Structure formats: structure tokens, C-alpha cells
């Protein structure tokens, strides 16, 4: 069965510090991986997806198939990065369902 885990419910860092949000997945097929972000009182929105290999708002994530991980990183956190972050995988067989992790709340302190 498909599963996404995010071990940290809450991560607090100081402004300017590096941040890494961990994500691991299990899926027998070849998944697509995504990071979604939810700012306060806003809808879930895509932050980045592994196939585009873009850097969005200074965030990057590399898919490591050997470790089945897709950790999200940013070298210098900003206060406006404070939000809920959800890692998700999209199944590629049949229905293309999106499976989400439980989320990590990032708090960037001044």
C-alpha cells in the first residue's frame, strides 16, 4: 500500500537558519512526489514537484529512490515560510491518486 510519512509534526528554526523537512514514502510502483504548502487561512497549494526539478521560493527537494525519501530543504529560512507542509505522492498506476503525509508545521522564529 502507498504511504507517506513525515516524522516531525513541528519544526522550529530561527530566521536565516537552514531548514530540512523530512519525507519518506512507500510505494511499489514509480511515484511522482510533491510538496504542498498551506499558509494560514489559505488553501493547499503546490510548492514543488520532483519531475520539474525547480527551486520555488528557495526550496528544493531531491527524490532519493534508494532511501525512498523526498526531503524539502531551504538554506536560509524566512519568517514568511511559516506554514504547514505536506509531502504527497501520486500513484502512477490506474487512478493517479494523491496520498498525503500527516504534515509538518514549520515555525520560523525572528
Partner 1 sequence: DTGVSQNPRHKITKRGQNVTFRCDPISEHNRLYWYRQTLGQGPEFLTYFQNEAQLEKSRLLSDRFSAERPKGSFSTLEIQRTEQGDSAMYLCASSRTGEAFFGQGTRLTVV
Q: Which residues bind partner 1 (CB under 8 A)?
A: 4, 6, 9, 32, 34, 43-46, 49, 86, 88, 90, 94-103
Q: Which is nearer to partner 1, 9 or 40 (CB)?
A: 9
We find the least distance from the C-beta atom of residue 65 to partner 1, in angstroms, to be 20
We find the least distance from the C-beta atom of residue 76 to partner 1, in angstroms, to be 26
We find the least distance from the C-beta atom of residue 3 to partner 1, in angstroms, to be 11
Q: Which is nearer to partner 1, 9 or 67 (CB)?
A: 9
Q: Which is nearer to partner 1, 10 or 110 (CB)?
A: 10
We find the least distance from the C-beta atom of residue 102 to partner 1, in angstroms, to be 5
- The angle subtended at Cα 11 by Cα 33 and Cα 56, nearest 5°, is 45
- Which of 105, 88, 103, 96 shows the shortest CA–CA distance to 3? 88
Q: Which is nearer to partner 1, 70 or 86 (CB)?
A: 86
Three-state SS for 35-104 is EEEECCCCCCEEEEECCCCCCECCEEECCECCCCECCEEECCCCHHHCEEEEEEEECCCCCCCEEECCCE
- Which of 31, 39, 33 shows the shortest CA–CA distance to 6? 33
Amino acid at each position: 500500500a502507498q504511504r507517506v510519512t513525515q516524522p516531525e509534526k513541528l519544526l522550529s528554526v530561527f530566521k536565516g537558519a537552514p531548514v530540512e523537512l523530512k519525507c519518506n514514502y512507500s510505494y511499489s510502483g514509480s511515484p511522482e512526489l510533491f510538496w504542498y504548502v498551506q499558509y494560514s487561512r489559505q488553501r493547499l497549494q503546490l510548492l514543488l514537484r520532483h519531475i520539474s526539478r525547480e527551486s520555488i521560493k528557495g526550496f528544493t527537494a531531491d527524490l532519493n529512490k534508494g532511501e525512498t525519501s523526498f526531503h524539502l530543504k531551504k538554506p536560509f529560512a524566512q519568517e514568511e515560510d511559516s506554514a504547514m507542509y505536506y509531502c504527497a505522492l501520486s500513484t502512477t498506476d490506474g487512478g493517479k491518486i494523491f496520498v498525503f503525509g500527516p504534515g509538518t508545521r514549520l515555525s520560523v522564529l525572528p
